[in-house]
Structure formats: structure tokens, C-alpha cells
Amino acid sequence: MWRLILFLNLCLISLVSLAASPSVRTMPMPVGDHQTIWLACGQTYSGELKLIQASQVTIRTAGTCGKATLTPAIPVSGWSRDPQQPHIWVAAFPSRPLQYQLDDVFITEAHHPNHEDRWLKGKRVSPLQLNTDLPNHDLSNATIVSRANEWLIQNRAIAAYQAGDLILQPGDDDGFGLPMETEFYLEGKRWMLDSPGEWAWQNGLLSVWPADGKSPEGRAWATVGTRAIDVRGSRDVAIIGVRIVGAVIGIDGSGSENLHIRDTDIFNSGEEALVLGSGAQVQRINVRGSRQHGLRADQDAKDILISDSRFVDIGMLGMPRRSKGAIVFESAQAVVVERNYISSAAYLGIRVFRNARVSDNMIERACLRLTDCGGIYTFARDRQRLNTVIERNQIKHLTGRSAYGIYLDDFANGVRVEGNQIENNGGGIELHNGFDNDIVSNRFINNRHEQILFNETAPFASIAGNRIHNNIFISTKDAPVYRLWSRHGGTHVRRFADFNGNDYTNPPHPFAEVAGMGMLDISAWRTRIADTRDSSLPVFARPPKLKR
């Protein structure tokens, strides 16, 4: 009964309190084409700025007192303590928020188990049924988040929990069903709210356990809209010098042309910070925190520039979810990604496709939650030439056995990898069925399991014609410089690459693992694979230190 009384009282309070406070303005109405929207400096605007199919519109901050802030979140007031759990605060709220934050801090939705490194296990009974033992049967309309693969996390709504079986609602699984032994966690029920820094919504009540123990009054925000700025289908829109917080998608430029974004901050994105169309230019932006992805583009987009920007904690907000990476161009072509800094990404650092250039970026601490991963990644399943250049990047401290500084996947060919420094990663470079690539003048330093892996898994001879020239390999560990693996044994390994002019500092023993030959020391490698050091070659300089 007390919960019903509390709920009714809070509903009366919230009729007034959900309106924007005097310090928060509603989002400005769209203006006509060929106009500028001026936002007051230091001011927060709540709602969604809709500029769908707009043309030649500019959005920018007026004044010098700080960037204007845009958010689809709304302030939540009328908080009171839960009588039975005084450390938890409650407020009436009409529907489940998309996300929640206190001040500028993202708060995780309540989940079970309580730690990101602890996952439950269940046995698949059917495509929509998982047998498992759980402490509470109240799971209808909760969410199950499960590992479908080492590089893929998926989520699905739960219909019910009956007789030890989770019954899932139908949904899109990208062709990956539940594994026979499924790892998963649960979220979205009030009983899961058991730690500071979590929230839950159920039966019209929003509950939160503030980590600082203080009331959420005056600093609580619930995201109810999806986008902060919606410029889908627009042409020649410019977004300059603003701050975006708490959006599921910060700026949605799907289908846009010539979208320009400069000197803008995008924090705490529920899904991704940016979606781009053709001709986009993104310069000097600061993306911090997302639940899933950082920046991506339409599948058919082309002619895009991403430069001089920072991407930090991408895919790292809250519990693990699916992430495609920090800067992701799955099939967009003719992109340039240069002089960016990426740190702490759940999955890939930079992904590009055809006619791309990736230059002078620094990537550190990627692949933190998903593996089979790369700091810089490309692939060519159509086996057509990529004509892509990866040059002068620094890639270091990637996590996991299958985390490679540069990953040339799925028949990648026509890629030039030059002048990069690849240091202290799971592996240096992987060529998975790759051919006709140039790997020249790079520095490989102490990559933990091998410096270069050739991985031939295709049902036919696929790896051939690669050139491994004039690289420097520095080893202080026992990991081999090379691994040449093939499902066909040693039949094709001599076709994998031409090795010439490489400098091996402190070569390990064993030096290389070669299919059909086993472990080789450096002498046997040079005898059987014919790689020699040309002493007249210059010692290549370390790539320049990049600004962070």
C-alpha cells in the first residue's frame, strides 16, 4: 500500500517537475533553409533539434561563456527516499527512460550479476529458450544480454521465466542464435538495483541509488528522445562549437550530404555519437563515452574526412554491449582518417574499406571487451583490391590474445601498411587469407604472441604475394616474430610473402612457427624462407609522437 500512496503523490509532483526548469530551455524550433541557429552560450537545451532534409543551415553557439548544450534528456524532479530502502531515491516517471545520468555522469541500469566480469551461464533448449537457475522469477519484459560470439554481444527481451527456462521474445539476431552454452547477464528490473551507481524503472517509478548518497534533486536527467540533432537527408548543414550530452544518437546524419561538424563535444551516447552520409567532414570533435559505437557512416557513403579528434571510452559505458568500434566505415569508400586519438574502446579502433587512407592516428587500449579485434581493421570479402593506405599510426596496449595492432581480414589485398609503430599488443599484424599487401618500414615492439600472423583458413590457397620489407622487429619476450599457419599444412607457405631487408633486434628463440616445418630459429628461417638483413639499409625512425 505504501508504494501505491508514494506513487500517487509523486505523480502529482511530477506533473510540474518534469517541465524544464528556468535554467533549461526547450530545443529551438527549426528555422528555414539558408539560416543560422544561434544557441546561447552556457545554456542547456532539452529535446530534439529536428532538421530533417534541411539545406544550408548552421548551428553554433553565440557568446564566449561556454558551449551551448543540447540533450534529448529531460530533468527529473520530485525525488524522495524509499521508506524501506533509504539509500534509494524514487520519482514518478511515465515510461522507462532510454538512459539516465546524474549531473554529467552516466548511470548504469540495474543488472544481475553485479559485475561486468561475471556472466551467468545457461543451456540452450530451443532458439528462444534457455535453461538456467535464477534467484528471482520477476523477469517479464526484462532484457537478456548474451555473448553470441567472441566479437558479438546481443540483447533480447524476455517474455517469461518458467520452470527454470528463460523464454525469449522473437527478435533480430544477425544470424547468430543462442550458443549451446550461453553466457549472459540480465537487466531492467527493480530487484536488480543492489549497488550504488545504478537505476531501474518499473511500474511508473524511477529508482536510483546515487553513488554519493545525495538526493538526485536538481541534477537528474532521463533520456526520452533518441537524437540530440536530427539532420537525416540534409544538405550542407554545419554544426560548430556545441556540446551534446545524453543522446542515444548524438548527431544523426543518415542520408545527408556535406555535413560539417567542428569543435563539438559529444558525451555519454546510448548507441553512437555520430552517423554520417557522403561528403561529411568531422574536425576537432571530442567524443567521450558511448554504450556501443563511436562514429559510423551509411553503407553507400563516400568522400568523408575525420581529423584531429578524440574518441575515449567508446563502448565502455555501463555493462558490455555490442560495439562496432570507435571510427567505423564498414563499406563507405574514399575516407580519410587522420591525426585522431582513440583510447579505451570496447572493440575496433578504426575500421575502413576501399580507397581509404588512415594516417598519423594514435590508438591505445582497444579490444577491451570483445576480441578477434584490431586497432586498425579492413577486409575484402569480395576479393577486389582495396587500394587502402595505413601509415604512420601508433597502436599499442590492445587487450586480449586475438587483438592485433593492424588486422587485414577476409582476403584483404592491395593494402599498403607503412611507417607504423605497433607495440605491446596481443599480436602485431594478422593477415587472414590476405594477399598482395605491402608491409614496409614499420616498427614492431614486444607484441605478446607474435609480431606477424599469416592465417590461411580458406578452402583454397589464398595467402600469396605479400611483401614484408624493411621492418624493424624488437623483441624482449619469447614470442615468435612470425607464425605462418595454413589449413593446408606446409604446402603453400612459401607463397605467403617475400621477406627482405628486415631488421631483427634480439631475435627470439624460437624465431618463427611455420606450418609443415615447426619451430625455426633465425638461422633455419633464413635458410628455408630466405629472409636476409641488408646492412646498408637505414634504421627507420620511430614515428613522430602524436598529440593526445
pLDDT tens string for the chain (548 positions)?
A: 434 333 333 333 332 233 334 478 998 887 789 999 999 999 999 999 999 999 999 999 999 999 999 999 999 999 999 999 999 999 999 999 999 999 989 999 999 998 888 999 999 999 999 999 999 999 999 999 999 999 999 999 999 999 999 999 988 777 788 999 999 999 999 999 999 999 999 999 999 999 999 999 999 999 999 999 999 999 999 999 999 999 999 999 999 999 999 999 999 999 999 999 999 999 999 999 999 999 999 999 999 999 999 999 999 999 999 999 999 999 999 999 999 999 999 999 999 999 999 999 999 999 999 999 999 999 999 999 999 999 999 999 999 889 999 999 999 999 999 999 999 999 999 999 999 999 999 999 999 999 999 999 999 999 999 999 999 999 877 899 999 999 999 988 999 999 999 999 888 988 999 999 999 999 999 988 877 654 334 444 444 444 44
pLDDT at 475: 87
The span from the CA of 172 to the CA of 234, in Å, is 29
The span from the CA of 71 to the CA of 348, in Å, is 27
CA distances from 243 to 174, 501, 539 (A): 34, 50, 45
Tell me the three cell numbers of residue 35.
539560416
The span from the CA of 207 to the CA of 220, in Å, is 11
Would you call 241 helix, strand, or coil by DSSP? Answer: coil
HEC string for 389-441: EEECCEEECCCCCCEEEEEEECCCECEEEECCEEECCCEEEEEECCECCEEEC
The span from the CA of 432 to the CA of 439, in Å, is 14
HEC string for 160-176: EEECCEEEECCCCCCCC
Residue in the block written with cell 633486434: 505
The span from the CA of 115 to the CA of 484, in Å, is 39
Beta bridge partners of 135: none
Please count the residues of the chain. 548
The span from the CA of 431 to the CA of 377, in Å, is 11
pLDDT at 29: 81
Residues 352-386 as b or e (16 or more Cβ within 10 Å = b): bbbbbbbbbbbbbbbbbbbbbbbbbbbbbeeeeeb
- Cα dihedral 341, 304, 227, 198, rounded to 10, equals -20
pLDDT at 533: 57
The span from the CA of 99 to the CA of 91, in Å, is 15
The span from the CA of 413 to the CA of 385, in Å, is 5
CA distances from 309 to 261, 266, 285 (A): 11, 11, 5
The span from the CA of 381 to the CA of 413, in Å, is 10
State pTM to two decimals: 0.92
Strand segments, DSSP code E, in 270-340 are 272-276, 281-283, 286-290, 295-297, 302-307, 310-314, 327-328, 333-338
pLDDT at 372: 95
How many other CB atoms are there within 10 angstroms of residue 453's CB atom? 23
Question: Residue 227: in which H helix or E strand, if any?
Answer: strand 227-230
The span from the CA of 118 to the CA of 135, in Å, is 15
Cα–Cα–Cα angle for 75, 317, 124, rounded to 5 degrees: 115
Determine whether 545 is exposed, middle or buried from the number of CB atoms within 10 Å of its CB (0-12, 13-18, 19+): exposed
pLDDT at 532: 63
Tell me the three cell numbers of residue 181.
552454452
Q: Do 245 and 122 meet the contact criterion of CB atoms below 8 Å apart? A: no
Would you call 532 helix, strand, or coil by DSSP? Answer: coil
Residue in the block written with cell 528471482: 136
State the DSSP string of 101-147.
Answer: EETTEEEEEPEESSSTT--EEEEEEETTEEE---S----TT-EEEEE
The span from the CA of 268 to the CA of 271, in Å, is 9
State the DSSP string of 450-492.
Answer: -SEEEEE-SSS---B-EEEES-EEE-SSS--SEEEEETTTTSS
Q: Do 500 and 532 meet the contact criterion of CB atoms below 8 Å apart? A: yes
Would you call 21 helix, strand, or coil by DSSP? Answer: coil
One-letter amino acid of 466 = N
Q: Phi and psi at residue 236, in whole multiples of 5°? A: 55, 45
pLDDT at 6: 38
The span from the CA of 524 to the CA of 434, in Å, is 25
How many other CB atoms are there within 10 angstroms of residue 535's CB atom? 7
pLDDT at 5: 34
The span from the CA of 203 to the CA of 198, in Å, is 17
Tell me the three cell numbers of residue 342.
582513440
Question: Residue 11: in which H helix or E strand, if any?
Answer: helix 2-17
